[in-house]
Amino acid sequence: MWRAARGLVACATAAVWVAGLTACGGGSTTVTETRPASDSWAWSLPAYFPTPKAPADNPMSSAKVELGRHLFHDRRLSGNGTQSCGSCHHQDKAFSDGRATARGATGEPHPRGAQHLSNVVYNATLTWANPALVTLERQMETPLFGDSPVEMGVNDANKDAVLQRLRDDAAYAARFSAAFPGEAAPLNWGNIIRAIASFQRALISGNSLYDRYLQGRATLSPAQTRGMNLFFGEKAECFHCHGSFNFNDQIVHAASRIVETPFSNTGLYNIDGKGGFPDGNRGVFELTARAEDMGRFRAASLRNVGVTAPYMHDGSIATLAEALRFYAAGGRHITSGPLAGDGRANPYKSDLISRIDLSEQEQADIVEFLHSLTDHEFLNDPRFADPFVQR
């Protein structure tokens, strides 16, 4: 079971979820899984990270990941040639974009924010509020080909032209042949999607200050230590939704047998006094039309949360300090305007969201701990960088 409270073990003064291994104190803390030479891929992971899951029909390889990196950052992949996947997923922001809501290649705004991609390989579902999208390959079809809203803007009228742009680049011919050996015509949409998904799976972030602390290689500040103890303790209870090794509550990996995919209403809105959320942003309800699904969204991973502002599915909370005040209050009370309502009284709000008696100092300490989850190596890793900027 992946509910955090059932998977916590003590590690020094912290409580962390581990995959059967605990990294406390010194010694080696990295597990490297070597795969056959033909696969040319090895995971390099902290000891408490489980082996990621990759689909049998899209195994990892270095050539495929490198091809995916180029495609991810290539503006030619959009219908009008103006936007890449990386336009909404910036490495220095943990592959989010800093906007409240994303914007597509045609300028059309998205109703939701671009999610960060730190450790996206471990996410059991892959959007804010769609339980059915469980593979990166299927998810990629939405930003590429979706028309409501338009993101990359690829459609029946321009699909062939987009492919031709890539075929006109001789470097891509070599990269596709290396990534998909033995295929007569490897440059096609299926392989584009497989390569980008492989690159996304490679985006492993596990070298934050907190990770180094767990490994006995660094020390947290007094404020971060206090914040950590509050985060994992019964007073703040943040761990109920953010207690896994990836600081979320939906986890899948190579050894997963039972995978839970909770979505939660956190009391962000209550615009009609009956639990309502704004039109076009009603969470899982938009797919099921069940009242109890109103306002239910996926809890995002808190890894690198210090660089992924603004927060919530619609970017309506600007700072981590504001986010802590929101949770301490047990929801948000908007007193005026079209979104006015007392989210604290939302009838569909999760039982885990209730008022928490946290002082300003305690809230500030939790914010300091959250900043310890920033992995600066990941944010600057040349293996994930835009190759076209480097030219």
Check the CA dihedral 180-186-190-192 and report its sign.
positive
- Does the pLDDT value for residue 110 go beyond 80? yes
For every residue of 335-358, DSSP letters joined together read -SSTT-EEGGG-TT--TT------
Residue 201 is predicted with a pLDDT of: 98
Question: Per residue in 328-364, pLDDT tens?
Answer: 999 999 999 999 999 999 999 999 999 999 999 999 9
Dist. CA 88–CA 103, nearest whole Å: 8
Question: Per residue in 167-197, pLDDT tens?
Answer: 999 999 999 999 999 999 999 999 999 999 9
Dist. CA 349–CA 32, nearest whole Å: 42
Residue 38 is predicted with a pLDDT of: 44
pLDDT band per the 50, 70, 90 thresholds, residue 147: very high
Check the CA dihedral 355-111-372-124 and report its sign.
positive
Q: The tokens of 286 are what?
A: 């938009």
- Does the pLDDT value for residue 104 go beyond 50? yes
- Provide, rounded to the nearest whole percent, the portion of the chain with pLDDT above 90: 89
Q: The tokens of 218 are what?
A: 């660094």
- Does the pLDDT value for residue 96 go beyond 70? yes
Residue 40 is predicted with a pLDDT of: 75
At a CB cut-off of 8 Å and minimum separation 6, what does 199 contact? 64, 65, 66, 67, 68, 69, 71, 72, 384
**C-alpha separations of 213 from 11, 12, 25, 72 in Å:** 10, 10, 9, 33
Q: The tokens of 152 are what?
A: 């990359």
Cβ neighbours of 372 (radius 10 Å)? 21
Higher pLDDT, 11 or 83: 83
Contact (CB, 8 A) for 202 and 378: no
Contact (CB, 8 A) for 110 and 83: no
**Terminal CA-CA length for the chain:** 47
Taken in order of first residue, the domains within the chain and their CATH numbers are: 62-118+136-196 (1.10.760.10), 285-376 (1.10.760.10)
- Does the pLDDT value for residue 296 go beyond 70? yes
Dist. CA 199–CA 179, nearest whole Å: 12
Q: The tokens of 80 are what?
A: 């009008």
pTM of the model: 0.92
- Does the pLDDT value for residue 151 go beyond 50? yes
Residue 24 is predicted with a pLDDT of: 34
